[in-house]
Amino acid sequence: MLFGKKENYLGKDKEVAFLIEKETERQKTSLEMIPSENHTSRAVRQALGSLLTDKYAEGYPGKRYYAGLEYYDKLEDLCRERAKKLFNAVHANVQPYSGSPANHAVYYALLEKGDTVMGMSLPHGGHLTHGWKVNFSSKYYNSVQYGVDQTHFIDFKEAERLAKECHPKLIWVGATAYPRIFDWERFSFIADSVGAYLAADIAHIAGLVAGGVHPSPAPFAHIMTTTTHKTLRGPRGGMIMVTEKGIQKDPDLPKKIDKAVFPGLQGGPHENAIAAIAVCLKEASQESFKKYAEQIVKNSKTLAGELLKYGFKLVSGGTDNHLILVDLRNKNISGPEAQDILEKAGMTMNKNSIPFDPNPPFNPSGLRMGTPAITTRGMKEQEMIKIAGWINEVINDKNSCSKVREEVRELCSRFPLPE
């Protein structure tokens, strides 16, 4: 047995056990709708909580610094092979502790301090590590930022102008709050025109790419990075993958990436997390996962359509993926206030800046929501219609929180968390 009887869970540490039980109850009875969150399978959680956490495994399979790692080598090799197959990559490094460390390793592998990097502006939906001003990626490198136009779609003319003017060595494509499909081919053209590396950060959409409902960047990007805990539905971790195009540009790219991760930036890898990543990659290769990814998008589009009927303004007018970004200004409520009252009603979303937001980041005008976790529970279009009604009810009447909370609790009882 991997685990003992339930009454022996966490042994004598009743305080931690109590808090885990309370959080479990919260998740069971609430709608987790932050688009970067999901519910993992029992198999993923078992691998993550296994005794694989007990050993150091510095180095890579076949080139470790410690003894006793025969089975760790096989596990990591298995994980790497599954990643390459699922994402059509030539090389995979599965040791990054999460997405930001993975991106950090790409910088470390490819750039010198002061080199120019181009990425999507954070207020327009991008990621901190793509060159935003408060992050290392801006402090150590010369960062130029592209964004969206007035339609809230990526402004490719501006991106191309910046690339030709600034000649970045690395261009990032990826986002945290962009509800549309990425045109990898167009970015590839821009990167190739200036000789830049193109890195596709698919952290948010990895599960959608694996499930075939979002185009893959593999034919167009040199490097792909991702977290494993969002739409991919795995443990918290990260991966860096090199494509065939990346090898053609730089045959040493796999070696550069591996050396950047270890010993460049990290020590011993979290092999328990790597085992859990291997599990989630196998799950993501199943036909059932393709249906899951399709349902994520169907649910997202249905939820967006219903919100539009209630008069909500959506950034870019809708969604093509797993997330929706709502502009709340016409509802006379701020993002933080909406987040708080919806949480009281049992629906967890997050405040978020919108493009050209007149308000500061800590009091933004937007609300970000998504469908990965509630789709994992088995909810479909009919439930999205109900959820949109609850969102509208709570936003319009704060006093309805208690009533809606009980209705949410009842819905959740019919769609249990994955076992």
Known catalytic residues are 56, 58, 201, 227, 230, 236
Residues 6+ positions from 6 with CB-CB distance below 8 Å: none
**Amino acid identity of 75?**
L
Check the annotation: does 110 bind a ligand.
no
227 strand-pairing partners:
238
Element (H, E) at 163: helix 156-166
> Is there a contact between 408 and 347 (Cβ–Cβ < 8 Å)?
yes
Check the annotation: does 126 bind a ligand.
yes
Q: Which of 371, 370, 322, 321 is nearest to 350 (CA)?
A: 370
Long-range contacts of 246-252 (CB under 8 A, 24+ apart): 246/90, 246/197, 246/221, 246/222, 247/90, 247/91, 249/197, 249/222, 250/197, 250/222
Check the annotation: does 128 bind a ligand.
yes
> Is there a contact between 304 and 387 (Cβ–Cβ < 8 Å)?
no
Length of the chain: 419
Check the annotation: does 2 bind a ligand.
no
Q: Binding site residues, as ranges? A: 122, 126-128
Q: Binding site residues for (6S)-5,6,7,8-tetrahydrofolate, as ranges? A: 122, 126-128
